[in-house]
Amino acid sequence: RLLRRAGATITFVRNPRFREWSHAAQPAGNPAAIVWRTYPSIDAALQAVEQGRADWIFGILPPRELPRLRVDVPAQLHDNASFIVDFIPLNTHVAPFDDVRVRRALNLAIDRQRIVTLYGGPSAATPICQPLPAGFLGYHRICPYTARPAHDGVWRAPDLARARRLVRASGTRGDQIDVWGTSDNLGVPHGLPAYVASVLRSLGYRTRLRIRAGPHISYALRRTFQLSVDGDWAPDYPGPSAFLPPFFGCGGNYTNGYVCDAGLDDTMRRASAAELRAPDAAAGLWEKADRTIVDRAYWVPTVSSHAPELVSRRVGNYEVSPIWDFVADQAWLR
């Protein structure tokens, strides 16, 4: 409750009993104290760091501000790679997305380069066609949902002609689709739900845009969605078992009930079991699971968003973790 008030602070001080036992596991920290202060908005926090009244922002920088920050304070902005995957989850239990042809059509019609622009440009996001993040066990880049698909797995451009043929074959052209989005998810550009609605209209669907604040979207309501444009996820650890089963397993806790495929479930279960004793076999199984998810188009993966961070001019020894971002206890102030 304390941190809900603007201006509230929590101070973390050095533990006098700490002794470094392994520099790799837990190096000794540099700061004598770390003060966590709340601001009334992300814009206020951004201004505080730019003006040197604060040193780092915990949270996602607004995509609209990234082009300006790259010009005004390039030395303070760090464009970090991440394992964050952004996506449009599709409810495979309700029309029209209970038809795999419609799910594939939307994957083909989405202009991922335009979405990159909404995120702040190529240094802020990279187009993707699959849920498994680059660098994970079993990752092999693939992209069947592009114009001129090739073995390199690179997304090149949308293919509206193929997408429209699939929609015509499905017999769903003219159906009503509600496009849901959130008004307070900083990780997803505000213009993205409207863009997705425009793509669906170009495929011949009637659309209605439904925007609500995240706390007003219950799990029960989400299960009724045809699709939502608010998907972004960073795994708790860099492994496929932290990513694919929670969303695509029958017992997954993030899937919103959209996917339950017994064969896919078995593949992921065997992959998880093989990771320690047979990592090569596990990699093959995770790759198979990833390809199955892509082929059945359970999601529309859009971009892998990067993790840009802004620090003040006086921050030195900036270090970053691909999972936990800025490592504050290794920094010092000049």
pLDDT (tens digit, 9 = 90+) per residue, 215-237?
888 888 888 999 999 888 888 88
pLDDT (tens digit, 9 = 90+) per residue, 46-96?
999 999 999 999 877 887 888 899 899 999 999 888 888 999 999 999 999
- Give residue 199's pLDDT band: very low, low, confident or very high (50, 70, 90): very high
Cut 0.95: pTM above it = no
**For residue 96, is the peptide bond before it cis, meaning its omega torsion is within 30 degrees of 0?**
yes
- Does 324 or 25 have the greater pLDDT score? 25
**pLDDT at residue 25 above 60?**
yes
Across the range 92-103, mean pLDDT stands at 96
Task: State what percent of residues in the chain have pLDDT above 90.
Answer: 67
Predicted pLDDT at 220: 85
